[in-house]
Structure 1
Amino acid sequence: MITPRFTVDQDEEFLHIDIKISNIRFSAQAIEMVVNENLFVFSLPPYYLRLRFSCNLIEDERAHSEFVSKEEKIRIRIPKLNKGEVFPDLDLTAKLLARMNEPTAVSASTIEQNKQRGPLIQEMDDSPAGTQDGNIDQNQRNLMQIEQEATNFNWEVEQKLPDLVPPTSASSDGGQSTQKQKYGFNDQYSDMIEVSLSNGNDINDLSAPETMTADDRVMERLIKENIKFDPEYYANDYLTLKYMPDETALTSVLKWKSPYKKLFLKFQKENKSQEDNGTVSSGPQVPEVTFDEKEQTLMRDLPNKSYFIEDPRPLYYTLISILYAYFYELRSNEGDLTVESGWTVETLIL
């Protein structure tokens, strides 16, 4: 998600928010706006903006929005809950973008406390803790602790306005060269994709993957998707499915039932039966998943590495993309993977 540039002004009755967008083709139906007391949320993929004000707003028939094509911006007018109330600090973007209970200025002592507290994800000791029953109890306590931490975790996305000027670094000849960017798991990699471009990389469509920021990558991908989009292709699939369902594979694809869905429904049924009998155990309830011999062999061959991650959100977002791409491929082939499955999954993730 990209945090767009914006300005906020006010008069006696309204807040006026101008949101700058560019280089994307969008439909008005794709825009979502939410007003909840002092919180305003704007969503137009890939743009996302969350503003938290000092005073309350109200969403009624006076609210209005329009797209100004010449200025590439969306103008939004939102009524104030109390007419004549003055909203302070509308020019302090960092304060408006701050997450819930997040201070806009961090003291040196707070930074030092965060360092001493350590990363959010740490390596746990998996040594035996005693008897088998003791291990089970410990696992349940660990799951309950993780569940509590997830409940208390601030899941609001951190917002950061894009830089007006791309980051640069001094080159050997005294000029300026574009700074190398990191990517991959936990932003640990660089200089790995550009080599494959000369060999006709069919997965990565970025023109300069080593020097583009994360927001620039998203924007270029969307621009190329808009250029490639062919409405006649999807109209043909829709009309064929509607009027000649026997002549398309989409019918069987849509009716295919995922084994993971069957597993989850079975778990729900068993859990409901235990609730009716009053035999549900305490702690988080999760479906029991078993791995076959091939899967266990693959997991044993994985390298043993430890990672210390300060912000896990990007990893969670990537995990969602991987799961979506994998289940899309499963449904497309009705449970069977093909030689092109790797290409499909990686393309959807990127």
Structure 2
Amino acid sequence: MITPRFTCSQTAESVIISIYCPSTRASDVEINVDGTLFSLHINPYFLRLNFTNALIEDDASSAQYDPSTGYLTVTLSKEIKGQEFKDLDLLAKLLAPRPTVQEPLFEVIASQSTAEDPDSLVSRAQNLSLYDKEISEAAENDWQLPQQVPPPEQPTLSVRAHYGFLDMHSGYFTNIVYTENEINELGAQIENLTPSERRQRRIQREDEKWDEEYYMADFADDDNIQELIQWTNPRVSDPDSFSFTDKENMMMLDMPRKECKPSIFQTVLLFAYAYDARTTRLDPTPESAWTICSLTPCFSALDPPPYDTEIKLSTLQLSVDEVSASLVPSYRRSLAFPLYRSYALAEKCRDDVANILLKGKRTIFRCLLEMKDILDNHEVYYVYSKIWLGDFCVWTQANARLVEHSTISSDTVNVFASNDILIQLGINVKDTLISKDSLGWDIEQLEAIVSQSQDNARREEDSDDE
């Protein structure tokens, strides 16, 4: 556990505790007040303060978290109004554990044998209730976790990396080693790696996870995969005109109010959604959040497109070749990480992405809301919703007013605000051909080996029948 930086102040009525715990989820905060003892737990932070006077939680007490600064402000009422709390600036004293009561020492003048029947001692021990044992154990340990005053923040020469939608975020993974983030491929250095280093680690991780035998087994026995391929995605077959549900309307109201410049590359996020929707038949499972994050390079390695260095970020029109370059990492990851690893299934997911784009902004937005809801309800991967999907949903609803201050011409903005550019992108995605050679693995050779083996087996079977 980490002891966070904190300060304490007071008014005549209350004590104010300001705690620095960046990149945390306010809903996970656990606060307990027991007389003079205040404790707070929010993974990975733990803080226990022992004040000189008693505090209480009442209607005047509150806890407010500001995600922009990372500070949690807790206001607790004094049990006795107007009472002065001393030494609030002595942080080490506040962190000191509550003193334990010491048993008095006695001098033995004389002793008398008090030996008891061993059977009697056993019976008395057995009669101790579980509650008595817990009280005894708690009294002995007092459940005190070690704490120390956190050192002041030191200036560093390293440059903190920026990531997320249009590289607008940083600091969200400062304490990632204390979380169960299984998709992180960058390790503890995630906040300091350059974009080129992140991309290098992503490619290395994909090569490590690639399993030729796994792929050949799925290619040879693909009955389940063929059922997934034959399934029809309702988001593609539904009519273009529909009404958002009450839940979707509430999610829209909770969207951040911010301006973003257009970036057409973010549509590759839909590939991971299409894969999970097809493999779960649009009924998300507890593994859906992991699947979506693992198949999205923007999440697992903070490595967004473009993956072709000749493409400029300001581009609003993507050619078929540029779309192909953007989808190659998604194909690679779909063949290296999830349960079903099939090139044919990846092709079907690309077709789903194209059809979703062709249906326009409203359908895209509904799919993103479903994807966002999956991540928002995960205790670890919700962070990717904060730094990617929330902003992407705002971008999807973009209109001329959102980009009026950008350097893009008004004509381009009007085109972008309509569905035209998304429909054209959908056409290019549908026309895209992701060759097996472009994935960097010997897929065609492996498939040929499996096909040849199956042909030989069939010929041997026919020979036996004759």
Larger relative contact order (Cα-Cα within 8 Å, sequence gap ≥ 6) = 1
With the length of structure 1 as denominator, give the TM-score of the two structures. 0.38
With the length of structure 2 as denominator, give the TM-score of the two structures. 0.29
Greater fraction helix = 2
